[in-house]
Amino acid sequence: MLPIVLEFFALLLTGMLAGALMYCAHVEVGARKLMQPQEQLSNWRLAFPIAGSLFKPLSMLATIILLGNGYVSGNWLWYVAAAFTFGLTPVTIILIAPINAKLAAADKNSPDEQINEWIKAWGMRHNIRSACTSIAFVIAIFIATS
């Protein structure tokens, strides 16, 4: 019974995480492209604290559940999926946090070109996180259906 419950939660959590990050990558970032730079910055500031408070615990929990599946089942692919969800942390720290700091420090006097550049870079780097979680979800689906 425990393996089935763990599989269910692994699929649920990785699916939620992948879906949320893909939504952010395609809907929010896409909508920002249609906005003026100061509007982009305001939009980012509204979404950032909410997304951060959701993605951090969800990615940690998904990683733990995926590792638990690997331990219980002995299937090494669960560990691969866990590595992809855990990968969100270094990607965020190394690639995205510096841009977050720049965007957080930006104000009305910040040049529009600079804001555009930072928002574009943030979106491109966020795609790495979306890819990581999507790969983890595909792996989890593959394992669960095999």
Q: pLDDT tens digits for the chain (146 residues)?
A: 778 999 999 999 999 999 999 999 999 988 998 999 999 999 999 988 888 888 889 999 999 999 999 999 999 999 999 999 999 999 999 999 999 999 999 988 899 999 999 999 999 999 999 999 999 999 999 999 98
Give the pLDDT score at 1.
75
Q: What is the pLDDT of residue 54?
A: 87
Q: How many CB atoms lie within 10 A of CB 123?
A: 20
d(Cα 51, Cα 141) in Å, to the nearest integer? 25
Q: Where are the beta strands (DSSP E) in 1-146?
A: none
